[in-house]
């Protein structure tokens, strides 16, 4: 991007170029913030089994035996799954992400999705800014800048376009999961259950689906979707 700043300033002027650069820095900082939070925020571990068992005995008159994971020996509430990589159970586990070196669960799913969102916006921003230079290099005979400048522009444009296309698919899938209150693991399980219900002439409904608004608020906090505060976890609850 910085290779395109000098010719961009010549084209649109220094004030406009500074404003465009500020937008790019803003998107980059938000992507890095959410990426860092997704890495270092624990995915959400259930409490120790003995402690949870004592609390249930105190709160309930009936004898309730909670589930215990046979591998990590922690409490295994509904929607929790054992991660073979981390070696512990994760509440509302979505998947183990090798790019984060961390599980994606109830505590850091928000940061994971917002990282995908801002990274996609940053790639789109680069493609929009570099688009005019890419068009000149590919479709006209103009040879603006040095050879290295043209190589940087072409490589950056194609890499960002490819990443943006991949993020649209991945991010779109996770946005669907948020709207329907599912995880990736539950999506696969529900596909099998839905097929079985259809075969038996029954209607399948996800038991955790509370409606789109409340499903989104479960991930992004009690914020209005139209207020856009959900995009900035350092400002919103």
Query: Would you call 89 a catalytic residue per the annotation?
Result: no
Bridge partners, 95 (sequence order)? 104
Q: Spell out where 65-220 has E strands.
A: 81-83, 88-90, 95-97, 102-104
Instruction: State the catalytic residue, choosing from 9, 97, 168, 197.
Output: 97
Using alpha carbons, list the distances in angstroms from residue 2 to 18, 21, 47. 12, 9, 48
Q: Quick one: tokens of 42? A: 């624990």
Q: Which residues of 208-236 are buried (b: 16+ CB within 10 A; e: fewer)?
A: beeeeeebbbbbbeebeeeeeebbebeeb
The set of catalytic residues is 97
């Amino acid at each position: 991007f910085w290779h395109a700043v000098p010719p961009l300033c010549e084209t649109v002027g220094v004030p406009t170029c500074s404003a465009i650069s500020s937008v790019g820095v803003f998107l980059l900082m938000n992507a890095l913030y959410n990426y860092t939070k997704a890495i270092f925020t624990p995915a959400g571990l259930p409490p120790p089994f003995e402690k949870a068992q004592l609390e249930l005995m105190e709160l309930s008159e009936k004898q309730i035996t909670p589930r215990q994971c046979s591998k990590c020996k922690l409490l295994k509430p509904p929607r929790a799954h054992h991660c073979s990589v981390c070696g512990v159970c994760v509440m509302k586990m979505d998947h183990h992400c090798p790019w984060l070196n961390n599980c994606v669960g109830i505590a850091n799913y928000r940061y994971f999705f917002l990282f995908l969102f801002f990274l996609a916006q940053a790639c789109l921003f680069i493609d929009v800014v570099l688009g005019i230079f890419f068009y000149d290099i590919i479709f006209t005979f103009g040879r603006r800048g040095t050879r290295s400048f043209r190589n940087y522009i072409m490589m950056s444009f194609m890499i960002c376009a490819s990443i943006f296309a991949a993020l649209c698919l991945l991010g779109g899938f996770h946005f669907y999961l948020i709207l329907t209150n599912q995880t990736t693991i539950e999506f696969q399980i529900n596909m099998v259950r839905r097929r079985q219900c259809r075969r038996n002439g029954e209607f399948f409904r996800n038991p955790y689906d509370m409606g789109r608004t409340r499903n989104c608020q479960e991930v992004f906090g009690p914020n209005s979707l139209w207020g856009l505060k959900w995009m900035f976890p350092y400002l919103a609850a």
